[in-house]
Structure 1
Amino acid sequence: MQHFKRAVSQNLKLPTGGPIGWLVKELIFMRTNDVVEVQTAKLLNIQPHHRVLEVGFGPGVGLKEALGYIGKDGPGKVYGLELSPQMVHVATKRLQPYIASGQLQLTLGDVMKLPYPDNSMDGIFHVNCFYFWDDLHQGCRELYRVLSPGGSVATAMNRTVVEKSVERGLNSYARHTDPQEYMKALEKAGFVGFREEEIGEGKNKMYGYTASKEGKDSSP
């Protein structure tokens, strides 16, 4: 049982192949996180001209949702950054038409050093990953750096699910699961306009968190 819990924990932090990796992808990323991904993308109020980044995109559920807001004819673009080569492979296969059209760009990389220019994104979102970051403050500084003035960052989480996974030893690599700690790191990085809101109800009840970068939105 300990071996199983350790394998699940490892795949939640850095998804890989194999039976446990498949189980985590299908049961957690595709069936549990899908609602969270959809709600988080919605928090950004994505417009057709926006440049949007998802950090830690997993199998690509949130990316596809963001692409829906951009639309087929929108001048905007969606970017995805992922630490797991396996998830880059999975999302690339699932979303190949969007990549071929130039609407989507996927990159293997780390939030600790985002491979994007300063002020290059109109919106950034991520789901169930900030508590895995090696340095929460550095990650938030990077989000701030690449976000354009007037842009927003968003995340959401089902606290009950996350807390239970930690208690049961299935998410042992989660360091700082308290969203208030994350929000304080955003504030220290320079973000303003913090909002926390309840989304959904019952077992799908989650909390959304948004913040923004001061300045006028300069996107067309």
Structure 2
Amino acid sequence: MTTATWRVAALSASLWGLASCAPRGSDVPLEGAIAAQAAICRPELTVDGTAYEAGTAFVVDGPRPLLVTAHHLFGEMGGLDEEIRWQDMPTRATAVRCRQVKGKAEWTTGAALAIDGAHPVSATSTAEYRDIAAFPLAGKAAGSPGLTLAEKEPATGSKVWLVAQIKGGDPAVLLHRATVVGHEQGALIYAFDDKRIELQATSGAPVVDAAGKLVGINLAGTTAEGSSDVQGAADSLDVVRKALSALPG
């Protein structure tokens, strides 16, 4: 990207994440964003028969409920020795077990679905963002609704929330408020309210609007050039919608 060097949220137990704040003094409703907390979970990923923990995942509602996370967790940034190509995901990334963060549900999935062109985010690549992985849910606990996609991209200046439990942070704080500062290269860019700390374990976490609708998938963070703002980058709503709508039946 042109304005900053992005730190990709990476290795399983020590993922670089984004700054956060408890929801306070918001100028938009929070009810929907609060409800979105039920959709996130801590995933245990199985690749080539070996299980490991990395990042955050979340449930997406639809005709076929899905578990969604970041593609870069299935490669070196997730602690593996090699990057798994999107074509090989169905045969190599065979299952996910995911423990609900706000609740007691545990979700399981089948093998990954092939997302055409999925690839890890990179500070040097000019390719459009498409850092997304999806798995069909084997079952979903009642009372634990998944997220639905927003109707349109959030405008610059609007409020969004990263929904994640941050390793090293207060485990009860799952909503981290930010302001959209732009769109670039298929990414949603947002600046967090809290500029004081670096936080962990947010790769693959959802970014939602005040209604609790999905507007992006969190991938990376940086300190903005010439500023103390901590910014995040996500797969944009348009990227997510195109990827999920093109999934094989």
TM-score by length of 1: 0.29
Relative contact order, CA 8 A, sep 6+: which one is greater? 2
Q: In proportion to residue count, which structure has more strand? A: 2
Q: In proportion to residue count, which structure has more helix? A: 1
